[in-house]
Amino acid sequence: MRASIKWLKDYVAFTDSPEVLAEKLTMAGIPVACVEYLGKNIERVITGKIKEICKHPAADRLSVCRVNTGREELTIVTGATNVQEGQIVPVALVGAKLPNGQEIGHAVFRGIESHGMLCSAEELKLDSKTISPELRDGIYILPPDTPIGIDIKEALGLDDVVLEFELTANRADCFSVLGLAREIAVLTGGVLRKPMLNLRETGGEKATSLIDIAIDEPALCSRFAARVLRNVKVGPSPLWLQHRLQAAGMRPINNVVDVTNFVMLEMGQPMHAYDYDLLARHQIIVRRAYPGERLTTLDGVKRELTPDMLVVADAVQAVGIAGVMGGLATEVTGKYQDRFA
């Protein structure tokens, strides 16, 4: 399990360095396998806005960009084909250092001076599993509202440190960020700050009238709780939430999916959101998989299920492997507005 220092500090204040904290946790029976500094070896890389792009006069495969860094405008030559005017991108200034050991200096490409470099996800050593597929190749394109001239580590949530734990089965209470924060509070003398919940439901209908839930295997699933959310607008999650998930090794998808993953990691309670309109007869059945039953999971893999697997199904088919991964057929997208979680 991975937990970032910033996320832990949302629940408990402490001043110990990551290394000291890791030692305390390990000695208390909560072993920390490693301490990872996310933005390690990235220096002098900031955000910049592409103001103008021109074809290189002497090289068909190169483009000449005018980039505003908030302090000055730079001329940077790039061979990337995915850049457009108005985009916010990572800019490695002259003197910058990258995780692969590369140092950026002045360069001349076919007679045109280049004062820096536009960076890709690979050059910044971003984990490809935690970013969307369209950002994995070419120059990394930042959200359009990203401030210009800030450190790329701040923009990408890399100004954080992650503790990776090797937890044993007898410490299930620590399989959540809140559980870890509770232990840290004891070890450091801090005060645990639990999330304050304030929910006001205004819907006139009850969830029991909108969804039918049956548990066929009570020995494997004693309780299944659900809510139906109406008129939900699907969109990107706020950056702070995306950064928390990425530090934990998860890829942000959208606000609905992300909040269920966030609370799952926060509380240690498996959660999943379904597209309500794609659940056959608006039914949920917790049962064992049928022999030979197949399910395409959210990662696009077609899986053959076996009767020793517990699944969440609708009236027609399995829509998820219980506590593991949901099915692609009921994935939350922007097409419908009603969600079931």
Residue given tokens 């009570």 in the structure block: 218
pLDDT in tens, 256-285: 999 999 999 999 988 999 888 899 999 999
Phi, psi of 123 (to 5 degrees): -65, -30
> What is the third-level CATH fold of 2-38+160-188?
Phenylalanyl-tRNA Synthetase; Chain B, domain 1 (3.30.56)
The model's pLDDT over 89-98, given as tens digits with 9 standing for 90+, comes to 999 999 999 9
pTM recorded for the entire structure? 0.89
pLDDT of residue 75: 97
- CB count, 10 Å around CB of 143? 10
What is the predicted pLDDT for the residue at 248?
A: 97
- Residue ranges of the domains in the chain? 2-38+160-188, 43-155, 209-340
Question: What confidence score (pLDDT) does residue 261 get?
Answer: 94
Topology of the domain covering 43-155: OB fold (Dihydrolipoamide Acetyltransferase, E2P) (2.40.50)
The low-confidence residues of the chain, meaning pLDDT below 50, are none
186-231 per-position pLDDT tens digit: 999 999 999 888 888 887 888 888 999 999 999 999 999 988 888 8
Tell me if domain 2-38+160-188 and domain 43-155 are identical in fold.
no
Assign residue 69 a region (left: φ > 0; alpha: ψ between -120 and 50; beta: otherwise).
alpha
Q: What is the fold of 209-340?
A: Phenylalanyl-tRNA Synthetase; Chain B, domain 3 (3.50.40)
Strands 212-215 and 283-288: parallel
